[in-house]
């Protein structure tokens, strides 16, 4: 039996892990920006953009300062973004997003986890074509009326609103179920502004998300096995996000 306190602890752990991933990735972006253009946000336009992004994502200033300092360390290399494609269970595909300063290390640890938990590495391009890159705003299902959100988001030019799925294991507590408002890169700020005006609380993405073009259904066993595989991949320091086309 799952108690309310256990559910709350699970939610807090998930929220903390998500925030830690966001901060870690942002720190890597700062290091790379400084490595390429210097530590002044006046002359380094990429770093200046990260300062603005930090405000949008509510990232503490000390994350920036700490990583500007880290970029000056002699043995610190710049980070490179990589995407690894994986076949999961039941025909589901996964995209593993990595920002790494050691490509050989990152591919080795990803391969190891995929092998240990029953997945299979895919050739480049085998899975990626099933996704599109978009900006995404998440809104807790408990924080908004569905009809209100649809009216506000569509009026602001959203491309799509993805309704939250229902987890049968946690059906009594929907505080972690989210609507996802999908938009183009250009229209993202407009949607955030409109949501603020309407007093609807939201969570921003970390720059973009990969949205499946045609989500697929898998059986319960495959779904559980895919969840474990994704969870183990997300435990890796180099991995920033894992996307799947599983419904």
* Same domain as 201, residue 134: yes
> How many whole angstroms separate alpha carbon 150 and alpha carbon 129?
28
Domain count, the chain: 3
pLDDT at position 139 is: 92
Give the C-alpha distances (Å, rounded to integers) separating 4 from 11, 20, 175.
11, 24, 12
Give the pLDDT mean for 32-41: 91
pLDDT at position 175 is: 60
* Same domain as 137, residue 118: no
* Same domain as 86, residue 42: no
Report pLDDT digits (tens) over 205-242: 878 899 999 999 999 999 999 999 999 999 999 999 99
Assigned token pair, 186: 């250009």
Assigned token pair, 4: 């309310």
CATH number at residue 41: 1.10.10.200
* Same domain as 233, residue 118: yes
Q: Which of 30, 51, 71 is the last residue of a domain?
A: 71
Report pLDDT digits (tens) over 142-183: 999 999 999 999 999 999 999 887 654 444 455 668 899 999
* Same domain as 42, residue 115: no
Confidence of residue 28 (pLDDT cuts 50, 70, 90): very high
* Same domain as 90, residue 62: no
Q: Which of 52, 71, 90 is the last residue of a domain?
A: 71
For 110-196, list the strands marked E by DSSP. 120-122, 131-140, 160-162, 178-183
Give the pLDDT mean for 75-103: 94
CATH number at residue 112: 3.30.70.980
Average pLDDT, the chain: 88
Phi, psi of 193 (to 5 degrees): -60, -45
Share of residues in the chain with pLDDT > 70 (%)? 89
Give the pLDDT mean for 61-78: 91
Report pLDDT digits (tens) over 9-26: 555 466 677 788 889 989
Long-range contacts made by residues 120-124, C-beta under 8 angstroms, separation at least 24?
120/86, 120/87, 121/84, 121/85, 121/86, 121/87, 122/85, 122/86, 122/87, 122/93, 123/85, 124/85
> How many whole angstroms separate alpha carbon 21 and alpha carbon 31?
15
Residue 1 has pLDDT above 50, yes or no: no
* Same domain as 113, residue 229: yes
Residue 7 has pLDDT above 80, yes or no: no
* Same domain as 141, residue 203: yes
* Same domain as 220, residue 99: yes
* Same domain as 201, residue 90: no
* Same domain as 227, residue 195: no
Domain that holds residue 110: 80-122+215-244
pLDDT at position 95 is: 97
pLDDT at position 226 is: 96
Q: Please indicate whether residue 168 or residue 118 has the higher confidence score (pLDDT).
A: 118
Give the pLDDT mean for 124-148: 93
Q: Which of 209, 213, 162 is nearest to 185 (CA)?
A: 209
* Same domain as 115, residue 226: yes
Give the C-alpha distances (Å, rounded to integers) separating 102 from 75, 85, 106, 131, 238.
12, 18, 6, 26, 9
Report pLDDT digits (tens) over 52-65: 888 877 889 999 99
> How many whole angstroms separate alpha carbon 141 and alpha carbon 138?
9
pLDDT at position 171 is: 46
């Amino acid at each position: 039996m799952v108690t309310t306190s256990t559910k709350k602890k699970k939610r807090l752990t998930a929220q903390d892990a998500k925030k830690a991933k966001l901060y870690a990735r942002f720190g890597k972006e700062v290091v790379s920006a400084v490595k390429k253009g210097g530590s002044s946000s006046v002359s380094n336009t990429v770093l200046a953009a990260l300062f603005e992004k930090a405000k949008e994502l509510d990232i503490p200033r000390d994350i920036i300062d700490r990583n500007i300092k880290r970029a000056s360390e002699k043995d610190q290399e710049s980070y490179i973004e990589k995407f690894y494609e994986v076949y999961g269970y039941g025909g589901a595909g996964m995209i593993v997003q990595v920002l790494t300063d050691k490509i050989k290390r990152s591919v080795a640890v990803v391969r190891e986890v995929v092998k240990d938990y029953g997945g299979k590495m895919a050739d480049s391009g085998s899975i990626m074509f099933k996704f599109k890159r978009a900006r995404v705003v998440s809104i807790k299902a408990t924080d908004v009326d569905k009809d209100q959100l649809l009216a506000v988001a569509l009026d602001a030019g959203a491309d799509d609103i993805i309704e939250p799925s229902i987890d049968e294991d946690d059906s009594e507590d929907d505080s972690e179920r989210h609507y996802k408002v999908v938009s183009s890169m250009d229209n993202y700020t407009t949607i955030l502004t409109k949501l603020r005006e309407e007093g609807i609380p939201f969570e921003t993405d970390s720059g973009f998300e990969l949205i499946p073009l045609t989500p697929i259904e898998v059986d319960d066993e495959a779904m559980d096995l895919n969840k474990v595989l994704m969870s183990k991949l997300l435990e890796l320091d180099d991995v920033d996000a894992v996307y799947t086309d599983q419904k």
